[in-house]
Amino acid sequence: MEQLSFFAEAGQSKGLPEELLEYRAGFIDTALSDALLQRFIREIPWKQKVQTIYDKEVITPRLTAWYGDFGTDYSAPSGKVANPNPWTPELLMIKGLVEPLAGVKFNSVLLNYYRDGNDSVAWHSDRESVLGPRPVIASVSFGQVRSFDIRSKSDHSEKYSVRLEHGSFLLMKSGLQEGWEHRVAKSVKPMRPRVNLTFRVVI
Ligand SMILES: O=C(O)CCC(=O)C(=O)O
Ligand SMILES: [Fe+2]
Name the residue ranges covered by the structural domains of the chain: 2-8+17-45+61-68+88-200
Q: How far is the CA of 194 from the centre of ligand 1 (A)?
A: 11
Q: How far is the CA of 121 from the centre of ligand 1 (A)?
A: 7
Per-residue pLDDT, 130 = 76
Per-residue pLDDT, 181 = 96
Per-residue pLDDT, 76 = 58
Among 3-17, 83-97, 174-188, which is the least confidently predicted range? 3-17
The residue ranges of DSSP E strands in 34-167, in sequence order, are 50-53, 56-59, 63-68, 108-114, 121-124, 137-143, 146-152, 159-164
Instruction: Say if residue 100's pLDDT is above 80.
Output: yes
Probe target for ligand 1 pocket from 184, 186, 187, 197, with the most ligand atoms within 8 Å of CB: 184
- The whole-angstrom separation of Cα 99 and Cα 92 is 10
- The whole-angstrom separation of Cα 109 and Cα 127 is 15
Atom of ligand 1 nearest to the CA of 148: 3
Per-residue pLDDT, 171 = 97
> What does pLDDT average to over the chain?
88
Strand order in the sheet with 146-152: 121-124, 180-184, 146-152, 159-164
Question: Is the Cβ–Cβ distance between 114 and 194 less than 8 Å?
Answer: yes
DSSP symbol at 28: S
Interacting residues of 96 by C-beta distance below 8 A, sequence separation 6+: none
Ligand 1: residue whose CA is nearest its atom 1: 196
In CATH terms, 2-8+17-45+61-68+88-200 corresponds, of 2.60.120.590, 1.10.10.970, 3.30.420.40, 3.40.50.2020, to: 2.60.120.590
Instruction: Say if residue 22's pLDDT is above 90.
Output: yes
- The whole-angstrom separation of Cα 18 and Cα 10 is 20
- Residues contacting ligand 1 via CB (< 6 Å): 110, 112, 121, 126, 139, 148, 164, 182, 184, 196, 198
Task: Report pTM.
Answer: 0.89
Per-residue pLDDT, 87 = 96
Interacting residues of 134 by C-beta distance below 8 A, sequence separation 6+: 174, 175, 177, 178
Question: Is the Cβ–Cβ distance between 141 and 166 less than 8 Å?
Answer: yes
Q: How far is the CA of 198 from the centre of ligand 1 (A)?
A: 7
Rounding to the nearest 10 degrees, give the CA dihedral for residues 90, 25, 153, 78.
Answer: -20
Q: How far is the CA of 9 from the centre of ligand 2 (A)?
A: 22
Atom of ligand 1 nearest to the CA of 137: 10
Instruction: Say if residue 36's pLDDT is above 50.
Output: yes
pLDDT mean over 130-146: 92
Probe target for ligand 1 pocket from 40, 182, 199, with the most ligand atoms within 8 Å of CB: 182
Question: Is the Cβ–Cβ distance between 22 and 171 less than 8 Å?
Answer: yes
Interval 53-74: pLDDT, tens: 788 888 999 999 999 997 666 5
Interval 147-188: pLDDT, tens: 999 999 999 999 999 999 999 999 999 999 999 999 999 999
Q: How far is the CA of 71 from the centre of ligand 2 (A)?
A: 18
The secondary structure element, H or E, covering residue 195 is: strand 194-200
